[in-house]
Amino acid sequence: MGSQAIHIIGIGGSGASGVARYLKTLGFIVTGSDNDRARIVELRKAGIEVADAHSPKNIANPDMVLYSPGVYAANAELAAVKRKKIPALSWQDFLGRYLTKRPGKGFMVAGTFGKGSTAAIVAHILSAAYLDPLAILGVDDIAWESNLRAGVGQAWVLEADEYNRHFHNYHPSYAILTSLEHEHVSTYPTFDDYAKSFREFFKGMHDPKIIVAKRTPSIDRFRETLAGTVMTTYSLTDDADVRGTVISQDVNGSRFSVAAPKFGVASQEFEVKVPGYIHVENAVGAIALTLAAGIGAPAANAGLARFKGLRSRFEVVTTGPHTTVFDYAHTPDRIRPVIAQARALFPGKRVIVLFEPHLYSRTRQFHKEFMTVLGEADRAYLTDVYPSREANSPLAKEVHSKDLVDDANDRVQYVGTLAEGVDAVEKARTERDMVLVLGAGSIQFAGRRLAS
């Protein structure tokens, strides 16, 4: 590929940063811009030149420009790109085109949530099976200390991001469906719109087109709409082709067994060294997919032994008197199990939540659901909404976290900025409390202060 120059607008994004690192390993000259200072520091350490603000001056004469979904149309750099007639693509479009030409088979994890951890576990299992996969995640894998595993084998692993139908850019041979709950309402006004997009993704898969799906009511109904498509099912609670059973769990991880007669596994014990029922579900899904791909249980066991979790995916940052857990949960359907898991793993402790709502559209759409689920904590503090790609949306003047609190019980309180939220939690917490820092925006960086 030579020394082509690629500039990435929004290079600090969760996926874009992994793509940037990967392009650099391929020999591209990579530059970028972003205002996410934490990620900028990491990219600069990797030898990538990153500007800390968007400006037309950053667009010299690259051969191509890639951009993140959070970059809005009026971005000054995009305008300069158009004037100079430089080829420009979303990084998802570019990566999809590149992977189509790359030898090997693709493994992807689709679903409303659970994508990151499941994809990482799949990558660890493939690595243990000596397939040396390429893997690009939307969050750092703790064992890799990166969101990139730059393998050169003939397998690749990605999360299937459904926002703006980005996952239609990819054509894997193997896929998992972890969950199916209405999300990304700006792209999909109705659940039917949302489900239709997943159907299109699965129809676009390449042979052998092996699909594994978790047993849930919504996914079971969805499977009925895929005429002629055979899916292997997995579950911890329902009858399924691959059935997991929790044996024990604590703050250090979980032991569980898997029965998969369809693949010649009568009963096999596994261990995941990351706490939480959710991680067991994701591990069973990953095991189901790799078994369906012809990879045996020994490689699954070895892969799980290497998996240490992901940043902000029920990441237990501190324990003891000031127990703090970070999680990416930013939808009501995800926040509820995280609160329940915290109560199960830390019995006797009050659960305090610091939550940064993500996107004005999501906050408005699920107003009532947010207030119900946050009220299940002993205390919840809400910061201002993190706008992301909706920074210039008219909704910025219509939606505010204060409105959510008005309809909640008295255990939910609006605190303002992230710094003010951290201050409020520090003042309120006692040794009998555990704190959940939840959100998909900047809260994970601000919340590090609570773990110090």
Give the separation between CA 286 and CA 269, rounded to whole angstroms: 15
Check: pTM over 0.85? Answer yes or no: yes
> Is 164 buried (19+), middle (13-18) or exposed (0-12) by CB count in 10 A?
middle
Reading the block at residue 413, the tokens are: 């309180």
Q: Which CATH superfamily is domain 5-90 in?
A: NAD(P)-binding Rossmann-like Domain (3.40.50.720)
Is 302 within 8 Å of 128 (Cβ atoms)? yes
Q: Which of 129, 23, 11 is nearest to 67 (CA)?
A: 11
Give the separation between CA 347 and CA 359, rounded to whole angstroms: 33
Give the separation between CA 155 and CA 126, rounded to whole angstroms: 8
pLDDT computed for residue 446 by the predictor: 78
Give 156's Cβ-side CA count (13 Å radius). Answer: 24
In the chain, where are the structural domains located?
Answer: 5-90, 102-306, 315-451
Q: Which CATH number fits domain 102-306: 3.40.1190.10, 3.40.50.2300, 2.40.30.110, 3.40.50.12780?
A: 3.40.1190.10
pLDDT computed for residue 207 by the predictor: 93
**Three-point CA angle 304, 136, 222, nearest 5°:** 80
pLDDT computed for residue 71 by the predictor: 82
Give the separation between CA 63 and CA 24, rounded to whole angstroms: 14
**Tokens 């899916």 belong to residue:** 231
pLDDT computed for residue 2 by the predictor: 52
Q: How many helices (H) and strands (E) does the chain have?
A: 15, 21
Q: Which CATH number fits domain 315-451: 2.30.40.10, 3.40.640.10, 3.90.190.20, 3.40.50.720?
A: 3.90.190.20
pLDDT computed for residue 445 by the predictor: 78
Helices (H), 245-393: 277-292, 297-306, 332-345, 360-365, 367-374
Helices (H), 85-176: 91-101, 115-128
Give the separation between CA 397 and CA 416, rounded to whole angstroms: 16
- Letter for the amino acid at 244? G
109-130 as b/e: b if 16+ CB within 10 A? bbbbbbbbbbbbbbbbbbbbbe
Mean pLDDT of successive 10-residue segments in the chain (452 residues)? 84 93 96 83 92 93 91 85 95 94 94 96 98 96 96 97 95 97 92 97 95 96 88 95 96 96 96 95 98 97 97 91 92 94 94 94 90 94 90 86 78 93 94 94 82 74
